[in-house]
Amino acid sequence: MFGYIRLELLRTIRDGGFIIFGIASPVVMYLVLSNLALAPGDKHAGAIVTMVSMAAYGALGGAFNNGSGIAEDRAAGWLRQLRLTPLAPAQVVSGKVITGVLGVVPSIAAVLLTGVLVNHVTLSAGQWLAIVGLLWAGTVPFSLLGLGNGYNLTGQTAAMANIAALLGLSIVGGLWVPTAGFPGWLRAIAEWTPSNSYAALSWDVASGTAPGPRAIAILCGWLVVFGLYARYGYRRAGRTA
Amino acid sequence: MEIDAVSLTAVTKSFGAVRAVDGLTLAIPRGQTVALLGPNGAGKSTTIGMLLGLIPPDSGKTAIFGIDPGQAVRQGLAGAMPQEGGLIPRVTIRELLTFIAGTYRAPLPLEQVLALAQMTGLENRRVDKLSGGQAQRVRFAMALVGDPDLIVLDEPTAALDVEARREFWNGMRTLTGRGKTVLFSTHYLDEADEQADRVVVVDRGHVVADGTSTDIKKIVALTTVSVTAVGEVAWLGDLPGVTRLEVRGDRVHLRSADPDATVMALAQAGAVRNLEVTPADLEDAFVALTAKETV
Ligand SMILES: Nc1ncnc2c1ncn2[C@@H]1O[C@H](COP(=O)(O)OP(=O)(O)OP(=O)(O)O)[C@@H](O)[C@H]1O
Ligand SMILES: [Mg+2]
């Protein structure tokens, strides 16, 4: 399974979609947004909030891109080829989930590094650790949603669904523009999205408060929903592969 | 009794109203090279899919070396090349084959696989930038790299030119020389005849004939010799080599197992009028084979 993860990571870093949605776009947007100072508060606080938002956006990009890869692999007959090797189906799925989890690391790192190097963001060591950890672990529900789309939908449709989910969740979840500026009804929706809860954990840490239980509960709820969705798709794909 | 490499017992598979495979039984002892010969839609790929555990049969039993196919694949006992697909973009041939090799306990050395698949020197090329024939060889290499005892190939030479086809079979003979069991499907009678120890002809999901290539050769060597009929023609049926006589309009069609002798005899009898000699085609072979089966 090690070899499988290695191969999939190699493919990921050579993938244009990953570079654009997972790394380039969040870094560029971070530089633009933080210097427009759209976030509330002073410039330094704004740079921190936007840094977390864009790192979250980049991580989502990586996670969804990984899911689109599954649909591509299915169309290419790669999943069938894997079934003709001694790898067990469970190893293939776990390998793909692990690839998704590892694949978000460069996205998070790129934005956080830009924060430190360009916008001179300063946080305590404990805050950095907590933010990296939460941004990282929190991508699992999105990886599962991406994989679910990859298993349930075919090639192009899966890629479109994942890009739509990425953009929709990023915008409505307040990753691009803070929800503070949203109309009331949209803010009410935003507070139930997994993306808003996901980023909220790290926003809280960055502002020096403990992550709220509400955000944790919502994110865990979505984890279960997306996990079931991915499992359903995997079983369905197994019958037709 | 030694356990067969492949054992399919009365397997059936329908897709909606289509009976792709209909009660097919096939046992292949270890070390045999078997061709699965049949026209488009005969059920070859479906049979292979069931044998490899990719397609669950509606009924019947499947086994590889006496165990469940999925388990046999997991133990590295079987390697296969599906009819199409299986290649991924953004990796090199070397990366791909190294990964596949790594999933087996005792794979072949990469250099040997590259040589067998005629790909030496191409190993650093990206898999998505290969010609159809080169891609086919990579897919073939993926079936071999684990050094499995059973190799299953679905139309392995479909995208290859004549020269590549010849080289391909040279590589295969190296493997069969080492006692591997090989099952391959093909549309080409010549290929089945030249490369296989045994030819299994399938049509509409059934085995319609099953014999050594010599058996098959005898039957399909039936060439049609036809001349324009003059007067009484029944005697033509007794000419050397003739196995069947048929009169259509003013033409007499003679099925011959020895066309040279038949033509010679026609000439001696002065009966050569608008002579035509037509070699048996696949269609004829199927007809002949099906006829043999029912006798
Ligand atoms: N997944 C499927 N869904 C519906 N019908 C199918 C499916 N797979 C095969 N069939 C049908 O089953 C029959 C046998 O198909 P199969 O692919 O096994 O034939 P084949 O002998 O491999 O043909 P070819 O030489 O064209 O590859 C065909 O009529 C085909 O249309
Ligand atoms: Mg086929």
What is the model's pLDDT at position B192?
86
What is the model's pLDDT at position A222?
97
Top mean pLDDT of B146-150, B188-192, B250-254, B274-278 is at: B146-150
Q: How sure is the predictor about B282, in pLDDT bands with cuts at 50, 70 and 90? A: low
What is the model's pLDDT at position B220?
60
Domain ranges of chain A: 2-240
Residue nearest to atom 17 of ligand 1 (CA): B45
Which parts of A112-181 are beta strand (E)? none
Please give the angle made by the CA atoms of B27, B11 and A238, to the nearest 5 degrees. Answer: 115
Tell me the torsion sign for CA atoms A114, A117, A119, A124.
positive
Share of chain B above pLDDT 90, in %: 58
Closest to A7 in 3D by CA, of B116, B132, B103: B103
What is the model's pLDDT at position B257?
80
What ipTM was assigned to the predicted interfaces of this complex?
0.83
CA distances to A17, A20, A43, A101, A128 from A52, rounded to whole Å, are 22, 18, 14, 18, 11
A92-128 residue pLDDT tens: 888 988 999 899 999 999 999 999 998 888 899 999 9
What are the residues whose beta carbons fall under 8 Å from the beta carbon of A83, sequence distance 6 or more? A89, A241, B53, B54, B73
Between chain A and chain B, the number of residue pairs with CB atoms below 8 A apart is: 72
Determine, for residues B99 and A88 on separate chains, whether the beta-carbon distance falls below 8 Å: no
- pLDDT surpassing 70 at residue A12: yes
What is the model's pLDDT at position B211?
86
Say how far apart CA B157 and CA B165 lie, in whole Å. 6
Which parts of chain A are beta strand (E)? none
A128-169 residue pLDDT tens: 999 999 999 999 999 999 999 999 998 889 999 999 999 999
What is the model's pLDDT at position A63?
92
Which has the higher per-residue pLDDT, A230 or B229?
A: A230
Nearest atom in ligand 1 to B13's CA = 12
pTM to 2 decimals?
0.83
Share of chain B above pLDDT 70, in %: 91
A207 phi, psi to nearest 5 deg: -90, 5
| Mean pLDDT across chain A | 90
Q: Does A86 touch chain B (CB under 8 A)?
A: yes
Determine, for residues A85 and B73 on separate chains, whether the beta-carbon distance falls below 8 Å: yes
**A3, A76, A80: residue with CB nearest B102:** A3
Which of B45, B185, B191, B203 maximizes ligand 1 atoms within 8 Å of its Cβ, making it the mutation to test the pocket?
Answer: B45
CB under 6 Å to ligand 1: residues?
B 15, 18, 20, 38, 40-46, 83
- Going from the Cα of B282 to the center of ligand 1, the distance in angstroms, rounded, reads 19
Q: How sure is the predictor about B293, in pLDDT bands with cuts at 50, 70 and 90? A: very low
Residue nearest to atom 5 of ligand 1 (CA): B15
Contact B43, B178 (CB under 8 A): no
Say how far apart CA B53 and CA B47 lie, in whole Å. 10
What is the model's pLDDT at position B294?
43
Question: Rounded to 5, what percent of chain B is helix, strand, coil?
Answer: 35, 30, 35
At A112, the amino acid letter reads: L
- Give the sheet arrangement for strand B223-228, strand by strand: B242-248, B251-256, B223-228, B276-278
